[in-house]
Amino acid sequence: MTIETVIFDCDGTLVDSETLTNEVLVGLAREHGVELSLAEALTEFAGGKMADVVAALEGRRGAPLPDAFVPNFRERMTAAFRERLRPIDGATELLEALRLPCSVASSGPREKIELSLSLTGLRRFFDDRIFSAYEVGSWKPEPGLFLHAAKAQGVPPPCCAVVEDSLPGVHAGVAAGMQVFAFVPEGPHGMSRAELPPEVVPVAHLSELVPLFAG
């Protein structure tokens, strides 16, 4: 099926934010008596919904977290982003080579997506084609966010390519009936190739997508 548009996830796919985000989460969780490693956080929470992250931490804690936990987390995460956030290796080059329309569909709130793309110099590639699960009301692994992005761009789901680095995102793309490419780089990561559905195409570096999307 011909690819007419490319829908990118943001965190861990275009911007190198997953490790930063989960480092902040691990540190703040520890302050509230919840011990978990960075590897555990990446495996359990990458691509997930914030409400589910909080519920999982409260389950480990055996008590509710304070109301200030999420605002404090977002404040610290923003500070870490401003200091250390970088684009994923190859992201800028891929977007510069792209000859197809593209968009971002992320489980994060719009302000986080906008900040991440702006800090890394990638915002210029997307115009108004940014879609947040918080605005759509559908979170990965549900297909609703991707289906909304496809409809907004006037492209049938089978003609959409999805680039994702998390298992919830991969499953959302498959459920939406789209062509899914799983970004699985070397090193600590929240997803392994062994977990991927058979129809999903794994890539170790974003440069592998240039010949597919730059034609």
| 62 touches 82 (CB < 8 A) | no
Query: What topology is assigned to 5-16+85-213 in CATH?
Result: Rossmann fold (3.40.50)
Provide the pairing of β-strand 201-203 with 160-164: unpaired
Q: In the prediction, which pLDDT does 199 show? A: 96
Domain boundaries, the chain: 5-16+85-213, 18-84
Beta bridge partners of 11: 15
**153 vs 9: CA distance, rounded Å:** 16
9 is an active site residue: yes
- How remote is the C-alpha of 130 from its chain's centroid? 13
Q: Are 171 and 145 in contact (CB under 8 A)?
A: no
Q: Which fold has domain 18-84?
A: DNA polymerase; domain 1 (1.10.150)
Each residue's pLDDT tens digit, 88-97 = 999 999 999 9
pLDDT at 47 (0 to 100):
74
Residue 59 buriedness (CB in 10 A; 0-12 / 13-18 / 19+) = exposed
- Specify whether the CB–CB gap between 133 and 140 falls below 8 A: yes
Mean pLDDT computed over 90-111 = 96
How far is it, in rounded angstroms, from Cα 33 to Cα 39?
18
- Identify the active-site residue in 9, 11, 16, 165: 9
Which SS3 state, helix, strand or coil, does residue 7 take?
A: strand
Whether this model's pTM surpasses 0.85: yes
Q: Which two tokens stand for residue 158?
A: 């089978």
Instruction: Tell me the CA distances in angstroms from 12 to 66, 149, 212, one per residue in order.
Output: 28, 19, 20
Torsion of CA 101, 113, 142, 204, to 10 degrees: 70
pLDDT band at 209; cut points 50, 70, 90 = very high
Using DSSP bridges, classify how beta strands 130-132 and 201-203 pair: parallel, antiparallel or unpaired: unpaired
Give which of 204, 185, 202 is closest to 194, Cα–Cα. Answer: 202
Q: Are 114 and 85 in contact (CB under 8 A)?
A: no
With a CB cutoff of 8 Å and minimum separation 6, the contacts of 98 are: 6, 125, 213, 214
| pLDDT tens readout for residues 13-70 | 999 998 899 999 999 999 999 999 998 998 888 777 899 999 999 999 999 999 999 9
Residues 150-207: pLDDT tens digits? 999 999 999 999 999 999 999 999 999 999 999 998 766 667 888 899 999 999 999 9
- For residue 130, the cross-strand partners are 104
Q: What is the pLDDT of residue 190?
A: 61
